[in-house]
Each structure stands twice: as C-alpha cells, then as structure tokens.
C-alpha cells in the first residue's frame, strides 16, 4: 500500500505521532498532548526547584531535618513501651502528642550522640521537659533496657564529631525510610 507523507509533517512532542502543524511554533498534535506537555514541564520545574533548595540548605538546617526524622522514628519504635523514666504508659495527647524522643545524654552536651538509638528513647513530656530529663530515673530505665555495659559505653563516649552534609542527608533519609517501614508493618491487617 502506498502512503503519502506530507513534507511538513513532524512528530508530536508527547505522543510522537506525525502531524502537520497549523501554527509556526506548534510542537504537539492535540490539546490533550498540550496538557500532558504542560504537566511534564511543571513536574520538571518542581524537580529543579527541589534540587536547588536541597543545595542551599545549611548544616544546621540538615541537622534539624535529620533530628526530626530520627525523633519520629524513635517515638514510633517505642510507642508500645512505657516511659523510660517513670514506667507509666506514654499515652497520647490531641496536640503534639504526650511523649518525646528523650535523649539520655542531651544533644547540647553530647551532640555526637544525637542520632544514637541507644541514647534516645520515648519519654513522657512531663518527665522530659518539665522534669528536667530525670537523668537518674532515665539511667535506671536505660540499664534495664540496654544493659549496664551499653550505658557505661554511652557515658564514656566523648569523641567529638563534626557532621557533614552527606552524613546528615544519609541519616535523614535512613530514618525516614525506617519510620515508613515501621509504620507500614504496624498497620492492622486489611488496611493498605
């Protein structure tokens, strides 16, 4: 069969079907393809903006993001356990939750341990914020959870650490993935 090919025909920028443009700068064959082209352009622009925003984040910004993901994972990990200090149930509150991810050695005095899972456990807000961390009670609970040797290792760890962008991004992404995996495993059967 002989087919006629128009010399002015060109492929559509979306579906790659041949069409004859009716206007000079026409790159798509139909309004539907034009809408797809616009959506693709918006997605590409959002991706560019996201990479530019990621590139200008400072170390303190990345520490905050990594700490938020780490703390969310710790709260989810320990949700079924009692408070590390007082042993009472963690409970829940309508705004902001009823418990924190409390550090045994604070992030101010031992910032190199801020992302150490042995150093951080779920702690009721009244113990963590209003009870000044309750360090003695925290230590007693910590010894029962992770053992005396691990607690003494935390107490003697004083090696300074300077966080890099790559480390913080990796920590943030790791704990984001761990949190998602923990949440997906904890959903009751029948829910997606």
| Stated pTM of the model | 0.75
Give the residues of the chain that fall short of pLDDT 70: 1-5, 93-96, 133, 187-192
* Phi and psi angles of residue 18, each rounded to the nearest 5 degrees, phi first: -70, 140
**Angle, CA 87 vertex, CA 84 and CA 93 arms, to 5°:** 85
pLDDT tens readout for residues 51-94: 999 999 999 999 999 999 999 999 999 988 998 888 888 877 65
Residues 110-149 as b/e (b if ≥16 CB within 10 A, e otherwise) read bebbbbeeebbbbbbbebbeebebbeebbbebbeeebeee
Q: What was the pLDDT predicted at 175?
A: 96
Give Cα separations from 150 to 82, 117, 118, 135, 158 (angstroms). Answer: 20, 11, 8, 16, 14
- CA 50 distance to own-chain centroid: 15
Q: How far apart are CA 168 and CA 55, in angstroms?
A: 13
């Amino acid at each position: 069969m002989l087919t006629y090919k128009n010399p002015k025909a060109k492929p559509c920028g979306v579906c790659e079907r041949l069409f004859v443009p009716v206007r000079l700068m026409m790159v798509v064959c139909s309004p539907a393809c034009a809408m797809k082209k616009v959506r693709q352009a918006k997605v590409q622009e959002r991706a560019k903006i996201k990479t530019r925003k990621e590139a200008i984040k400072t170390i303190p910004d990345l520490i905050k993001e990594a700490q938020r993901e780490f703390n969310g994972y710790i709260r989810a990990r320990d949700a079924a356990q009692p408070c590390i200090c007082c042993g009472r149930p963690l409970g829940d509150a309508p705004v902001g939750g009823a418990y924190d991810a409390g550090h045994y050695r604070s992030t101010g005095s031992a910032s190199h341990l801020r992302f150490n899972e042995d150093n951080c456990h779920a702690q009721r807000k009244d113990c963590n914020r209003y009870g000044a961390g309750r360090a003695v009670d925290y230590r007693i609970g910590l010894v029962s959870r992770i053992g005396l040797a691990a607690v003494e290792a935390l107490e003697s760890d004083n090696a300074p650490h300077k966080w890099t962008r790559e480390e913080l991004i990796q920590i943030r992404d790791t704990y984001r993935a761990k949190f998602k995996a923990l949440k997906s495993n904890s959903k009751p059967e029948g829910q997606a």
